[in-house]
Amino acid sequence: LYALSSGNFFWSVMNAIIGMMDSGVGGLTILREVRKMLPVHPVVYLADQAHVPYGERSLEEVRGFAREITRYLIAQGARLIVVACNTASVAALRMLRNEFPDTPFVGMEPAVKPAAEQTRSGVVGVLATHATFQGEVYSSVVERFAAGVTLLQDHCPGLVARIENGDLQGPETEAILRKALIPMLEKGADTIVLGCTHYPFVIPLIRRITGPAVRVIDPAPAIARQTRRLLEESGLMAGKGESAALRMLTTGSAENLASVIPILLAETHAVESVTWQENRLV
Ligand code: DGL
């Protein structure tokens, strides 16, 4: 009996670890909402900066990265995984759920549904990566939810790289966004969907370009709610407690990431490095 209760004790002090992945810093827009809502759950965040941007790669290649990152996060103790990247979700979510049936996954899809419900002009702009627009998930979302709505798409070439460098306000970042948004505004768009997790970092700039009347849909709070729901359903939800540890890992330069995090999150973090060897993370 003693052994049993001490075993339970250990389980109760170690709250379920949430694993999160993105090609780079984009998933940090999801991470900050998840931390706000679920501070007692430890998080292991992996930025695959050796391969960023995912959006210019084939879905098959991204699928391979996502599979190995998932294996690695589970090996680090993750009990639930948030694929905090639209591109990786479009490419790999279905496969991940099949191949790792014991792990609950939270994935992303461009928020076309709420946009279609909320638009008054019937014109919606969608900003996402090239790969996301190619995937079946996108065409299915459009088919199911956007009947009668005009969708204007732009993949904002170069924007992910600007954000990876912490350039959220500079002239090059602004030029990329103007080029995408002005034609959308001219065609009457009143709602803009951020279909790439990097883009919420440039919401202030987007608002400066669109003005206050245009609605900008950031999916991050909904993803945090979905994470909470799935923790509850899986019996992994922790009670109240102290705020838990956050581990940040990158397959790129740990030093670079550590220097950009304060710009993005207004706090500092140590960053560990992980290396791709052949197709394995070590
Ligand atoms: N943040 C990612 C997304 O949500 C990918 C950006 C990229 O690496 O191209 O799509």
pLDDT per position as a tens digit, 178-197: 999 999 999 999 999 999 99
Task: Please report which confidence band the pLDDT of residue 240 belongs to, taking 50, 70 and 90 as the band edges.
Answer: confident
Catalytic residues: 85, 196
Confidence of residue 13 (pLDDT cuts 50, 70, 90): low
State the distance from the centre of ligand 1 to the C-alpha of 128, rounded, in angstroms: 8
Residue ranges lining ligand 1, Cβ < 6 Å: 22-24, 26, 52-55, 85-87, 129, 132, 160, 196-198
Burial letters 249-279, b for 16+ CB under 10 A, else e: bbbbebeebbebbeebbeeeeebeebeeeee
- 170 pLDDT band, cuts 50/70/90, is very high
Of 28, 197, 218, the one to substitute when testing ligand 1's pocket (max ligand atoms within 8 A of C-beta) is 197
How far is the centre of ligand 1, averaged over its atoms, from the C-alpha of 127 (Å)? 11
- Centre of ligand 1 to C-alpha 58, Å, is 13
Query: Does residue 215 sit in helix, strand or coil?
Result: strand
Q: Which helix (H) or strand (E) holds 107?
A: none
Q: Hey, which of 25, 51, 69, 87 would you mutate to test ligand 1's pocket, going by the most ligand atoms within 8 Å of its Cβ? A: 87
Mean pLDDT of 1-25: 70
- Mean pLDDT, the chain, as a whole number? 94
Q: Separation of 242 CA from ligand 1 center, angstroms?
A: 32
State pLDDT tens for residues 20-45. Answer: 999 999 999 999 999 999 999 999 99
3-state SS assignment for residue 126: strand
| pLDDT grade for 12, boundaries at 50, 70 and 90 | very low
Supply the pTM of this predicted model: 0.94
For ligand 1, what atom is nearest to the CA of residue 199?
A: 1
Whether the bond into 212 is cis, omega within 30 of 0 = no
C-alpha to C-alpha distance for 43 and 248, rounded to whole angstroms? 8
What spacing in Å lies between the alpha carbon of 7 and ligand 1's midpoint?
41
Of all residues in the chain, what percent carry a pLDDT higher than 90? Answer: 93
Q: What is the pLDDT of residue 239?
A: 86
Separation CA 123–CA 187 (nearest Å): 8
The residue whose CB lies within 8 Å of the most ligand 1 atoms, and thus the one to mutate among 21, 57, 129, is 129
Question: Which atom of ligand 1 is the closest one to the Cα of 198?
Answer: 1
Phi first, then psi, for residue 22 (nearest 5°) are -155, 170
Distance CA 203, CA 243 (A): 28
In 10 A of CB 40, how many CB atoms? 14
CB distance 56 to 129 below 8 Å: yes
Rounded CA separation 218/52 (Å): 21
